[in-house]
Amino acid sequence: MEERQKQIQVGAGLQESRLNTDLIMWLEKYGWPILTGVLVIAVIYFGWMRIQGWREDRVDRAFEQYQAARGTMGADGVLLGSPEGLLRVADEHQGKASVAALARLDAAEIYLGSARRGLRAGADTAAFKEEDILKPEQVEELARQAKGIFQRVADDTAGKSGKEVLHIRSLWGLASTSISLGDAEGAAKALNAVIENANKSGLTEEAAEAKRRLEALPRLLVPVTLLSDAALPKPPVTVEPEPAPPAGDIIPIERMDGPPPGFADPALQPSGPPAPAPTLPPVQSPEQKPQPPQEQPKQPG
């Protein structure tokens, strides 16, 4: 029995030794290629992560420059940023997320808002200067620049996944600039494109608004005539009332002896010297009682 156990133990040892030898030989044959492949995969992974982080940093910087160029929103809903700066940001960061499309759309809207107001871009509507006022040819040129920028964004975003909202926004801009330029055909074409793309994207409210705008297009294309100063009615002349005296003040009144001037009738004036004023008996207080008359002492006879 002991001999059998010894044989089993020896056989198990030989089997284990053979397995270890095979493993060592396999590792010697395939170990280095496998380890090299693992290292290569790790290097590629970490390199890809670094590249992604670098790209994200570039996109973040692009959005920061875009936000700085667009400026704040004015009281009339027009951005107060620089359209030239926005176009420069769009050219520098083309292909980085949607920075270029957003910058161009904002620049076009600034041009269009400036043309509608008749003031240069960035002018304060509450306190603008004479040099801020645009001439009619400058207004038309700004509207045409805006239309060209809207058209470029529409071409760049057409049929691209994830760019549907930007494409519809550019079509709205084309419709607005066409209306400002009096182009009825261009405005109707842009509004129909808005309806088609909005229905595809499930934006029913945008499609309904475009339909309402298309129905009101003949009325929107009527030019607005500005009346001259001579044609305007003159404002009524208002007379400001005299200010009332403040409460609590006493108005001095001069005392007059006799009747006011113009009220004295000479016929009613008495003739001769004035009559003496009647004398009144002295008034006694209630505490004083009348004294009885005192008797006079008799004179001796």
> pLDDT (tens digit, 0 to 9) for every residue of the chain, 301 residues total?
555 555 555 445 555 556 567 667 776 777 778 878 888 888 888 888 877 777 777 788 888 888 888 877 777 677 778 899 999 999 998 888 889 999 999 999 999 988 888 888 777 676 677 777 888 888 889 999 999 999 999 999 998 888 999 999 999 999 999 998 888 899 999 999 999 999 999 999 999 999 999 998 888 776 555 445 565 566 666 767 766 656 555 555 555 555 555 555 555 555 555 556 555 555 555 555 555 555 555 555 4
* pLDDT value of position 106: 93
Please give the DSSP secondary-structure letter assigned to residue 272. S
The answer to whether the predicted template modeling score (pTM) of the entire model surpasses 0.75 is: no
**Nearest residue to 197 via CA among 185, 184, 210, 188:** 210
**Nearest residue to 194 via CA among 175, 179, 180, 177:** 175
Please give the DSSP secondary-structure letter assigned to residue 80. -
**Nearest residue to 173 via CA among 112, 117, 220:** 112
Structure tokens at 150: 């809207």
Find the helix packing angle between 204-215 and 184-201, rounded to 10°: 160
Please give the DSSP secondary-structure letter assigned to residue 125. S
Find the helix packing angle between 83-92 and 99-117, rounded to 10°: 160
Please give the torsion angle defined by the CA atoms of residues 184, 190, 195 and 201, in that order, rounded to the nearest 10 degrees.
Answer: -170
Exposure class string for 238-261: b at 16+ Cβ within 10 A, else e: eeeeeeeeeeeeeeeeeeeeeeee
| Residue 232 host element (H or E) | none
At the top level of CATH, the class of 18-220 is mainly alpha
